Amino acid sequence: MRQVPELSLLSYVNGNQQEKKQFVDQLMLGLKDYGFIILVDHTITDELIKKSYQLVEKFFHLPTETKMKYVCPKGGGQRGYTAFGVEHAKYTETPDLKEFWHVGREVPAGHRFADFYPNNIWPEEVEGFEKTLSLLFENLHQTSLYLLEAIGLGLDLPQDYFAKRIDEGNSILRPIYYPPLGKVAIPGAVRSAAHEDINLITILMGATSSGLELLDRDGKWLPVETKEGQLVVDSGDMLQRITNGVIPATTHRVVNPEDAGSARFSMPFFVHPNPDVTLECIPSCRGEGEKYPPINSHQFLLQRLNEIGLKDAK
């Protein structure tokens, strides 16, 4: 059976030139072949991961009326809480069986991106939520810099190509709660219907139970299994677009469990470029011609958010 490749990020961060090159080669091969790789080690501590999940679980177990206080007033689920059954996959109106929270980048008043980034919302009922998830956001951003630097090297780009384009990017940390199915069953619905991610790359910080599957190149669904503390990385629509399909955005889903009484928590980090970046074909990927016309990254994001039910995004 095919299996998603497992790589050591620390071999890139701390390794010699040969080890760095080997990581780049393995990363590019994994993303081209599967659209997914697994990091068996990285720079985020187990303590931070566990603490984050503990606090997220506390929040999602609050009463619904309490959680609804934290819906983003600017709409589109940009920050704070998005209720159960709001989001759906592209090309379907059946809602996913999940609710989630968004933590984004904050910038000071007068910043060039102030109009794009609303302030974060923090639940007062969960002590340490803001401090812990803010730290996690910054750690995941640093991890994304390492990964995109390696991808850039694999695409014959300058070492700082992606760093300059995501240094103040519209990235999102999304803790997700999939409640027990016995309480929330909707005919024909699954925890997360088949979809591709919108962004450059996604870093998924484990999950409390299995269920993640990718659509392999042979058209079969392949489970993505990880051990505690590992990270899953996948490529999104924006990366597919700028690489002219050299690195594809792989379809994936979260299937319903056999045990209708089991819940699931997960925490993906969606890596986005700065909102003024133009998504355009990388020279080394042009081949016989560009498949996608250039488009502003923020406009592309809004287009995709509307397609998945977050229609009030601006």
SS3 call for 284: helix
With tokens 């219907």, the residue in question is 193
To the nearest whole number, what is the mean pLDDT of the chain?
92
Q: How far apart are CA 9 and CA 44, in angstroms?
A: 11
Q: How far apart are the first and last CA of the chain?
A: 44
pLDDT tens digit sequence for 102-141: 999 999 999 999 999 999 999 999 999 999 999 999 999 9
- pLDDT tens figures, 216-241: 999 999 999 888 889 999 999 999 99
Cα 64 to Cα 70, 81, 260: the distances in Å are: 10, 11, 20
Specify the residue for token string 């081949």.
287
Q: Which amino acid is located at 290 in the chain?
A: E
The pLDDT value recorded for residue 1 is: 74
Say if strands 6-8 and 221-223 run parallel, antiparallel, or are unpaired. Answer: unpaired
* pLDDT tens column, 162-195: 999 999 999 999 999 999 987 666 778 889 889 9
In this predicted structure, which of 15-29, 206-220, 287-301 has the lowest mean pLDDT?
206-220
| pLDDT single digits (tens) 248-303 | 999 999 998 888 888 999 999 999 999 999 999 999 999 989 999 999 999 999 99
Q: Is the pLDDT of residue 314 over 50?
A: no
For residue 207, the model assigns a pLDDT of: 75
Task: Provide the pLDDT for residue 119.
Answer: 93
- In the 3-class helix/strand/coil scheme, how is 40-91 assigned residue by residue? EECCCCHHHHHHHHHHHHHHHCCCHHHHHHHECCCCCCCCEEECCCCCECCC
CB 87 within 8 A of CB 76: no
Least confident of 44-48, 91-95, 244-248: 91-95
User: What Rg do the C-alpha atoms of the chain give, in angstroms?
Assistant: 19
Q: From start to end of the chain, where are the E strands?
A: 6-8, 36-41, 80-82, 99-104, 172-173, 176-178, 192-195, 201-207, 212-215, 221-223, 231-235, 252-254, 264-271, 278-279, 295-296
CA distance 298 to 276: 7
* Residue 111 to residues 80, 94, 107, 264, Cα–Cα distance (Å): 21, 38, 6, 38
Q: Percent of the chain having pLDDT more than 90?
A: 77
| 15: Cβ contacts below 8 Å, ≥ 6 apart | 23
How far, CA to CA in Å, does 220 sit from each of 3, 230, 235, 251? 12, 24, 18, 11
Report residue 312's pLDDT band, with 50, 70 and 90 as the boundaries. low
CA proximity to 82, closest of 73, 93, 71, 90:
71
Query: Domains in the chain, start-ordered, CATH in brackets?
Result: 6-307 (2.60.120.330)
